[in-house]
Amino acid sequence: MGDHAVAFPDVNRLRRLSYPGRQIFQADQPSIEESSTTKSLKNASPDEHSEDGCKSFAGIVELEAALLEILELVRTVAPTDSTILRFNVNKEREARVALETAFQQIEALKDQLYKENLALRDEVDRVSMFEEIVGTSQALQAVLSRVIKVAPTDSGVLITGETGTGKELIARAIHKRSRRSERAFVSVNCAALAPSLISSELFGHEKGAFTGATQRRPGRFELANAGTIFLDEVGELPADVQVALLRVLQEREFERVGGTVSIKVDVRVIAATNRNLEAAKANGTFRSDLFYRLNVFPIEVPPLRERKDDVLMLLEYFVHRYAKKVGKNFGKINKRTLELFRSYDWPGNIRELQNVVERSVIVSSDGVFGVDEAWLSRNAGQAPWRHPEVANTDGHSNPELQIIEAALAESRGRISGPKGAAAKLQIPPSTLESKLKKFKISKNNFKFGQGCVLES
């Protein structure tokens, strides 16, 4: 309790207040008694007072005033028990409110730290196909022209193209040239997520929403708020997640798994797929309303076989990149390697070229870079095998089918495992199995590196 500035009565002045026959206040007297003279003075009329009596009566009045001062002093300096109780209750209430506020701040900081760590971990673990857009071909320049036009807007973009063409790189280029470039870019590979966990990954979940949900977790859309989210292989989303994604695109809100509160988000959605969503829409595996929401501004990334002018530039770029990593120095590339790279169709596109160069850098001696011809000769110079049931009307084979067959031929029909076709295509083995059924392909027909139509 704070100090109180109180004026104490003058005790010496009280000692001097007296009337005939008795001193009415003593400093060492614990109590004050009213004498018979005092009573008679109170009962007597003013006419009966003597001069001394008047002085005594005036002294009593002054004494009573002094006593009131003392009582006020006691009341001020020593508050009652009820005042102390109210003081303690108020202090306890203030402490409880401060504690609850501190806990809320801690939870908010934990959520923020979790979001930042998750986004940082995804960025660090991500192995991009290449760090910059490399190439000067006319086909690539047409794509970059569309990127420059759509980047400053907030319109949704649907990027299509074969596996390994660099669709994520195009998505990042759009984000870097947009007004959201200072905010997060969150990449999600929809094909790599288990169907039962896709909703939780995209939209988050509440504590206790399902077995193993020991705490509340924000989803990828929350992490990308005010930024950009890239949904790679969006054609692999199951039907129920397609409905939830459609709501986010239309209403800009969603609910966490197990939650009841709608969460507002401001996110730009860029989607990519190597599937033919038009065909998927026609056969009912992809919602038509979602397709139109995603396909606001389409960009098709050309395969590497249509960018022949960029092949040697990419070769030089990757040789320098991987040579620096392993501490080697290549002064030139042998002539036979240049001829192989020019003539090869690269069914795996840039990702395949990247892997071939990295492998060759490891085995090549310092000074001259060369590629083992056996790594390319299996498909080099050969016309691509054509599946009769999926060939287009213009005579060109289905690009997705070509990629799958090339991976099966390279893995000799093996689906799973580090050397399997699924790992080469960077998709789950279950996804590849479903594609084999779709195209009626038998993996047994690729045990010797040859592919053929499964006879019905």
Task: Using the predicted structure, report yes or no on whether residue 386 has a pLDDT greater than 50.
Answer: no
Q: Which helix (H) or strand (E) holds 99?
A: helix 81-125
Distance between CA 370 and CA 341 in Å, rounded? 11
Residue type, 105: Q
Cross-strand pairs, 149: none
- Beta-carbon count within 10 A of 276 CB: 16
Task: Using the predicted structure, report yes or no on whether residue 430 has a pLDDT greater than 90.
Answer: no
Cβ atoms of residues 194 and 141 within 8 Å: no
Length of the chain: 456
Which residues are CB-neighbours of 188 under 8 A, at least 6 positions away?
201, 202, 220, 229, 230, 231, 232
Reduced to 3 states, what is the DSSP secondary structure of residue 158?
strand
Residue scoring higher pLDDT (104 or 49) = 104
* pLDDT at 91 (0 to 100): 73
Q: Which helix (H) or strand (E) holds 226?
A: none
For the chain, what percent of residues have pLDDT higher than 90? 30
Distance between CA 39 and CA 18 in Å, rounded? 14
Q: Which helix (H) or strand (E) holds 71?
A: helix 51-77
Question: What would the mean pLDDT of 391-415 be, rounded to a whole number?
Answer: 67
Q: Which helix (H) or strand (E) holds 186?
A: strand 185-189
Reported as a single tens digit per residue, the pLDDT across 262-294 is: 889 999 999 999 988 888 888 888 999 999 999
Least confident segment among 15-29, 197-211, 331-345: 15-29
Distance between CA 394 and CA 392 in Å, rounded? 5
- Token pair for residue 285? 């595996």
- Beta-carbon count within 10 A of 349 CB: 24
Question: What would the mean pLDDT of 120-138 be, rounded to a whole number?
Answer: 61
Task: Using the predicted structure, report yes or no on whether residue 20 has a pLDDT greater than 50.
Answer: no
Task: Using the predicted structure, report yes or no on whether residue 407 has a pLDDT greater than 90.
Answer: no
Cβ atoms of residues 164 and 348 within 8 Å: yes
- Token pair for residue 49? 């007072």
Least confident segment among 64-73, 118-127, 136-145, 172-181: 118-127
Question: What would the mean pLDDT of 197-214 be, rounded to a whole number?
Answer: 82
Task: Using the predicted structure, report yes or no on whether residue 300 has a pLDDT greater than 80.
Answer: yes
* pLDDT at 175 (0 to 100): 94
Reported as a single tens digit per residue, the pLDDT across 341-378 is: 988 989 889 999 999 999 999 988 878 898 988 777 45
Cβ atoms of residues 203 and 245 within 8 Å: no
* pLDDT at 432 (0 to 100): 81
Mean pLDDT of the chain: 76
Residue scoring higher pLDDT (447 or 15) = 447
Reported as a single tens digit per residue, the pLDDT across 71-89 is: 665 555 555 555 555 556 6
* pLDDT at 13 (0 to 100): 52
Residue scoring higher pLDDT (335 or 105) = 335
For the chain, what percent of residues have pLDDT higher than 70? 69
- Strands 330-333, 297-300: pairing kind: unpaired
* pLDDT at 227 (0 to 100): 94
